Chain A
Amino acid sequence: MSTSIENLKTFDPFADTGDDDSQPTNYIHIRIQQRNGRKTLTTVQGLPQEYDPKRILRALKKDFACNGTIVKDEELGDVIQLQGDQRVKVMEFLSSQLNILKKNIKIHGF
């Protein structure tokens, strides 16, 4: 009986709620780099392992009508490179298609 009463449930206010920011989150970094002239390059670093970067790249290339490659970095793993400033679009794509929280995506650059 007593378990059905809300007030009698033991609740530890100091327990970890699980969704605080202190735990290390793997941010996805979206960066931009300037090339010569008006040209820019967008890099997407830290994509989750469970996704196949090749397929993501293919979808991105088709959606944004740009070229791109996958660069294999020793420390950072696979990094997607896209031509042009695709930062906002990449973020929209990641949050809508892959269900990645927007707070886990960081956009860098100007």
Chain B
Amino acid sequence: MKKKKKKPKAVSFNESGDLDESTPKEESADPAVDELTDMFANLKKKKKKPAATSEESSPAPEGAEDENVEDFDFSAKKKKKKKPAVDVSEFEQQLEEAGVVETGEDDDTFTKEGEEGAEDGEEEEASWLNSDREYTYEELLHRFFKILRTNNPELAGERGQRYKIPPPSVMREGNKKTIFANLKDISDRMHRPYEHVMQFLFAELGTSGSVDGNARLVIKGRFQQKQLENVLRRYIMEYVTCKTCKSISTHLSKENRLYFLVCESCGSRRSVSGIKTGFQAHIGKRKRLPG
């Protein structure tokens, strides 16, 4: 990168030195000139920009300028620190070597400053909008996400409030039964009839059960809270969340024996398979075969 950069710079400088400004004033060694050079050097230090040299030089090497600018955009900010030292020293060296004293007009420097100021702003990813060149994809992307994040952060990936479903409260009844106490609460949160959730649970767990007087679910068999949580999660994935927009404000509708999941926030519809128990091995004592 560095080498590549040095070359165009040198060229451009020579061009500027020879052709544009300094040729007429080459012989004139004023005391003011030194001052100006000093100022110029200071200016250089302040800017710390290699692109500046090429820009000052002349509008002719436009390609080179573009390249520089672009390079600058893509290069990380680390490089910025390295360059200025090299740049300034190189620049001064060249000045001394050539014996050329640049006396840029004041107006000129000012315009440069203005330009460079704009460039610096661009570096801060804010005011590149004002520049005439084509915006790069990355800049636009950054801008988009910045605006999106400020205006509606829930769309920018970070969901402020995930849907909250309380964890199932599970306790044991006796030795062989499990009580799922807040089934009603959970199914209300999911906007599903608890019968549907119950059916799913029984099909998945391969057991049976019933609802007791306090709207608690009694499941046959021993289950831990974690296990039921997994099953519930699968239920939510399958029968509650909208696959398109991931929202859970959906409802199930039944048409011609088929269940459809209709999203209320985005309006998408998808069919969901009914709950099937599948094969059930019979457990326990086998019936005595006839004969």
Contact = CB atoms under 8 A, between A and B. Distances in A.
A45 B204 CA distance: 14
Nearest to B229: A110
B204 A43 contact: no
A109 B278 CA distance: 12
B214 interface: no
B278 A29 contact: yes
Given A109-B205, A109-B206, A110-B205, A33 B280 contact: yes
Interface size class of B (residues with CB under 8 A): 10 to 19
Nearest to B221: A34
Task: Say whether chain B's binding surface is mostly helix, strand, loop, or mixed.
Answer: loop
Interface string B189-230: 000000000000001111100000000000001111011101
Contacts of A32: 206
Given A108-B204, A108-B278, A110-B223, A33 B283 contact: yes
A65 interface: no
B289 interface: no
Contacts of B41: none
A56 B200 CA distance: 30
Given A32-B206, A109-B206, A79 B223 contact: no
Interface string B253-277: 0000000000000000000000000
B32 interface: no
A36 B280 CA distance: 15
Interface size class of A (residues with CB under 8 A): 10 to 19
B281 interface: yes
A27 B226 CA distance: 26
Contacts of A31: 206, 278-279
A33 B278 contact: no
A36 B204 CA distance: 18
A100 interface: no
B33 interface: no
Contacts of A109: 204-206, 231
B207 A34 contact: yes
A108 B226 CA distance: 15
Nearest to B283: A35
Interface of B: 203-207, 221-224, 226-228, 230-231, 278-281, 283
14 contacts: A29-B279, A31-B206, A31-B279, A33-B283, A34-B207, A35-B283, A41-B283, A43-B281, A71-B281, A79-B281, A108-B206, A110-B205, A110-B230, A110-B231
